Amino acid sequence: LLTAISIERCLSVLCPIWCRSHRPKHMSAIISGLLWGVSLLLNTLGYVLCTIRPPARSCNLLLITIGTLDFLFCTPLMLIFSLTLFLRVKCSSQHLRTGRLFTVIMLTVLFFLIFAVPLSVLILFDFLGYKFLYSPEIGFVLSCVNSSLNPIIYFLVGSYRDRRIKFALRLAFQRAFED
């Protein structure tokens, strides 16, 4: 989803007229639904192949495929489009307004790279036969920290401009996504 969000946001900044006039109205909902469906399918398949049935070659093949898809396709695309968006916004002579959504996306991508990518890389290398001295528990804790940081990012970015932080969480989420 971070990859899809990064691509869509980058396109909306680089090609705003095309996005407003030619992009299908429900494209975001369709892409999100497809991504959730693929994720559900892969996770269900992984559960069946790796948990219900004894671990076999098909389990390892599926996990290597998921790791490769994540590490060699989704993460590089997310990085390329996020970096392009960041450079376009920061180096623009038009002084584009960055906004809260830009901040949320950049912080989410940054923390994803710090906390989630190392686990994916280590798991992929482990399944490819490369052994490193790492604790899977630490990797899973880092991944949980990454997931737990997202609501905090939304809250803090939503309440950034207010001096007081004592207001409804709903208002913080609304402000974070109003862009």
Render each residue's pLDDT in the chain as its tens digit; 179 residues.
777 877 887 788 788 888 888 888 888 888 888 988 988 998 888 888 888 776 677 887 887 788 778 778 888 888 888 888 778 777 776 655 566 667 777 788 888 888 877 777 776 677 677 776 666 677 778 878 887 887 787 777 766 555 454 455 566 666 666 65
Domain count, the chain: 2
Same domain? For 129 and 151 the reply is: no
Same domain? For 50 and 103 the reply is: yes
Tokens of 32: 């999100």
Same domain? For 125 and 145 the reply is: no
What pTM, to 2 d.p., does this model score? 0.65
Range of the domain at 141: 135-178
Same domain? For 36 and 80 the reply is: yes
Angle at 80 between CA 79 and CA 82, to 5 degrees: 65
Same domain? For 12 and 78 the reply is: yes
